[in-house]
Amino acid sequence: MYHVDPPASDSLFSERVLQEFIQNLDPGGFYLTMESVNTIRGSFGNLEKDIQKGRCTALEAGIAVFSRQYIFVDSLRSQLLRQPLVLSDADVLQLKLSQKQSYAKDGVELAEKWRKQIRYLLLYEAYIEAGEGELSLENEAALRIKLQERLQCRRSRLMEAAGGLQLKIGDHFLSALSTAFDPHTNYFPPTTRQQFMAALSTEAESFGIQLHENPQGDIEILRLVPGGPAWKSKELQEGDVLISLRPKKGMAKDFSCTSIEEADALLADVMLKQAKLDVRKKSGQLKTVELVKERLQVEENVVNSFILEGTHTLGYLALPAFYTQQDGSYGQGVATDVAKEIIKLLSAEVEGIVLDLRFNGGGSVMEALKLAGMFIDDGPLGVESDRYHKNQPLRDMVKGTIYDGPIILIVNNFSASASEILAQALQTYNRALIVGSSTYGKATVQVIMPVSGQHKPKSREPFVKMTIAKYYGLQGSSYQAVGIIPDIELRDGISAFGLREAAYPTALRADVISSKLNFHPEPALPTEALSFLSEQRLQTDSVYKRQLEHSNMLTNIIARGFPVRLSPRYFKADYNQLLNLYEECVTTRGSASSPFKLQNLPDTEKLFAEDEELKSINARMKEELENDLWLTETYHVMLDLLELQPRSSKP
């Protein structure tokens, strides 16, 4: 197999590898300087020839330079932490919230950067210890020791592991070579491969979380098991970084110096039944989620559905991922589970259905096609094209529909891949309105295979995930790095973080193919009129207007940085101000008054009569959805649609 769109092997590609390599080595700019980056750059001029000759001076230079810088910084940190820190109300750190690299000019600037960073880390430790109380530095010496131990622990993990720092840098280089093709072509060393392919046991109680160690050494959520406690919480997503775990009984555990093996063992501990997980979201927001372990052999449907009861009765279904039957004993796949829920909703005589795809990062493309086919009678649903098979139509092989009424899809910046395939198909056929913000913009296909290319990988062989194909719409256009543009736009603060596909420098760009597929869309939906009515409504919504104001503030802060005063007097207030701004911007909660009440389906109520934990989760979910500003506006849009295009006038 070959990459679908390999870049030319030239100086531009070498620079892309260099930038990816530097990002992997030092994403925060705390080790390298512009001087050291330029030293490494000098060895990248003959990258292709070096690799062809079986040598790699670029990697050798990277190992030499980064090792020297790491030792320098390690010594500097130890020196700074040996003596009491002098803190001043006038000392301010511009906390960087963007992922854009920023490097000190030289060693002098880097040392000054670390002086401020050490003060910030010390105050953050005090902030965590203070909890709801007043921040105090009476135990400053103990905090310095704790911080030094944490930094020393990470150093030991890196330097004393098999292969040490050199192996880690080598893995970063191979990863850079891969992601220079595109962000989804990745290299996985043998240890990561074992974690990636490992299946969670369905026999023991579990939180339903699969972990891995990211390139920065953080313990990160790789996957949520459909139907598991973490999945059902609706508060955790893939890519969240674990900060700490607080059991209901026993000592809290900090993940900052924990290996992936230790983290897995900690979560799997049979004595651990209930805990609070502190995580850092992709946006930087800190969040605490309380989980209770369950057995993962879940037989019931994991799709959440409700009845929205108001002026009109609507059905609501939340789809966190496009899981398939192969994911384990979690149902027959998302399409089958959705079909079961729709049949129940139709029995309740709903007048329209809302599918919520927010934060749905994708999954099985076949499930997305099956789901689209439930609402589209017949015809192609998209196009897949690779280097050998050009413009292959994608179809649901089962003809007929189970529902032909009004549909609205809610999407946001984190609706990706299979979510976008479904959204584009339904939008193209005029079968659904798309409400929300532009989707992620991933229109590519990946496969996982051993580096050797053999069907049977050798023991402890690394592997690669390679982009081999692209997706296109029926008219030949691509949403790659663009996303699906909603019919009715809603805004929140998530877009300020720039976490969509287009933000990656090596992302493949959208192109156009010649498509001659025949398809028969339904009559156009009144999108312009609906959009106008929505805009008029939101202009008078004080909660929505306040969220937009805060979103604009966050956009400016991400561009400039957030000023945090490095003194015990002001640090907590400044940091809490930032967290509150995060919360206000990334949430869609806050609807002044809900036009509907959420009701459970009858068979769901029977489940809750037997399970208090499920009943508690359901109550919390209902409360959040009833206060969800986006869902409230979506409900109004559906009412407008029913008025402008009543079912009786539909052909």
What residue spans define the domains of the chain?
Answer: 11-181, 188-295, 303-644
The DSSP H or E segment spanning 75 is helix 57-81
191 has pLDDT over 70: no
Residue 591 binned pLDDT confidence (cut-offs 50, 70, 90):
low
| Confidence (pLDDT) at 179 | 96
| Confidence (pLDDT) at 381 | 96
Q: What is the mean pLDDT of residues 299-327?
A: 82
Q: For 93-145, what is each residue's pLDDT tens digit?
A: 998 877 777 899 999 999 999 999 999 999 988 987 887 889 989 999 999 99
Question: Would you state the structure tokens that stand for residue 136, as one six-digit string?
Answer: 């105090």
Question: Would you state the structure tokens that stand for residue 275, as one six-digit string?
Answer: 């805990």
Q: How far is CA 464 from CA 171, 187, 447, in A?
A: 12, 5, 8
| Confidence (pLDDT) at 199 | 36
Residues 6+ apart with CB under 8 A from 63: 165, 166, 169, 170
Q: How far is CA 241 from CA 179, 197, 220, 397, 402, in A?
A: 21, 20, 4, 40, 40
Q: What is the mean pLDDT of residues 5-29?
A: 91
Identify the residue with better confidence: 156 or 525. 525
89 in helix, strand or coil?
A: coil
Tell me how far apart the alpha carbons of residues 428 and 518 are, in angstroms, rounded to a whole number: 12
Q: What are phi and psi of 316, to 5 degrees?
A: -130, 130
Using a CB cutoff of 8 Å and minimum separation of 24, what contacts does 285-290 make?
285/579, 285/582, 285/583, 285/586, 286/243, 286/579, 287/235, 287/240, 289/230, 289/233, 289/235, 289/236
Residues 6+ apart with CB under 8 A from 372: 381, 396, 421, 422, 425, 426
What is the SS3 assignment for 6-28?
CCCCCHHHHHHHHHHHHHHHCCC
Residue among 570, 420, 545 at smallest CA distance from 481: 420
Amino acid at 200: L
Residue 92 binned pLDDT confidence (cut-offs 50, 70, 90):
very high
Tell me how far apart the alpha carbons of residues 246 and 253 are, in angstroms, rounded to a whole number: 6
Tell me how far apart the alpha carbons of residues 418 and 422 are, in angstroms, rounded to a whole number: 6
Amino acid at 586: V
Longest dimension (CA), the chain: 79
Q: C-alpha angle with apex 229: 227 to 230, nearest 5 degrees?
A: 100
| Confidence (pLDDT) at 50 | 83
| Confidence (pLDDT) at 405 | 96
Tell me how far apart the alpha carbons of residues 225 and 584 are, in angstroms, rounded to a whole number: 29
Tell me how far apart the alpha carbons of residues 555 and 540 are, in angstroms, rounded to a whole number: 23
* For helices 629-644 and 527-539, angle between their N-to-C axes, nearest 10 degrees: 140
Tell me how far apart the alpha carbons of residues 450 and 456 are, in angstroms, rounded to a whole number: 8
Q: What are phi and psi of 277, to 5 degrees?
A: -105, 125
Question: Would you state the structure tokens that stand for residue 409, as one six-digit string?
Answer: 């899809």
Q: What is the mean pLDDT of residues 419-423?
A: 97
Report the mean per-residue pLDDT for the chain: 87
Contact 517, 383 (CB under 8 A): yes
Determine what percent of the chain is predicted with pLDDT higher than 90.
Answer: 52
The DSSP H or E segment spanning 93 is strand 92-95
Residues 6+ apart with CB under 8 A from 620: none
Q: What is the mean pLDDT of residues 224-228?
A: 74
Q: For 440-497, what is each residue's pLDDT tens digit?
A: 999 999 998 888 777 676 767 888 999 999 999 999 999 999 999 999 999 988 888 8
| Confidence (pLDDT) at 203 | 45
| Confidence (pLDDT) at 647 | 67
298 has pLDDT over 50: no
Residues 6+ apart with CB under 8 A from 458: 450, 452
| Confidence (pLDDT) at 296 | 60
Q: Which residues pair with 394 in a beta bridge?
A: 382
Q: How far is CA 312 from CA 72, 276, 430, 635, in A?
A: 67, 39, 22, 9
pTM of this structure: 0.86
Q: How far is CA 132 from CA 135, 136, 287, 583, in A?
A: 9, 12, 15, 18
Identify the residue with better confidence: 530 or 582. 530
206 has pLDDT over 90: no
328 has pLDDT over 50: no
Half-sphere exposure of 530 (CA within 13 A, CB side): 27
Highest mean pLDDT among 64-68, 514-518, 577-581: 64-68
Residue among 407, 413, 426, 362 at smallest CA distance from 588: 413
Q: What share of the chain is helix, strand, coil (3-state, %, to 5)?
A: 40, 20, 40
Task: Please state which of the ranges 242-246, 404-408, 442-446, 579-583 shows the lowest mean pLDDT.
Answer: 579-583
Residues 6+ apart with CB under 8 A from 511: 470, 478, 480
Q: What are phi and psi of 232, to 5 degrees?
A: -70, -20
In the CATH scheme, what architecture does the domain 188-295 have? Roll (2.30)
Contact 470, 515 (CB under 8 A): no
CA dihedral 340, 342, 347, 353 (to 10 degrees): 170
304 has pLDDT over 80: no
Distance of CA 330 to the CA centre of its chain: 22
Tell me how far apart the alpha carbons of residues 205 and 208 are, in angstroms, rounded to a whole number: 9
Residues 6+ apart with CB under 8 A from 322: 334, 360, 362, 363, 364, 365, 367, 368, 371, 418, 419
For the domain bounded by 303-644, which CATH number is listed? 3.90.226.10
| Confidence (pLDDT) at 224 | 81
537 has pLDDT over 90: yes
Q: For 335-378, what is each residue's pLDDT tens digit?
A: 999 999 999 999 999 999 999 999 898 888 999 999 999 999 99
Q: For 611-628, what is each residue's pLDDT tens digit?
A: 776 777 788 888 889 999
What is the SS3 assignment for 450-493?
ECCCCCCCCCCCCEEEEEEEEEECCCCCCCCCCCCCCCEECCCH
Residue 198 binned pLDDT confidence (cut-offs 50, 70, 90):
very low
Q: How far is CA 469 from CA 311, 428, 519, in A?
A: 46, 21, 23
255 in helix, strand or coil?
A: helix
Q: How far is CA 257 from CA 72, 78, 126, 262, 277, in A?
A: 21, 17, 18, 10, 16
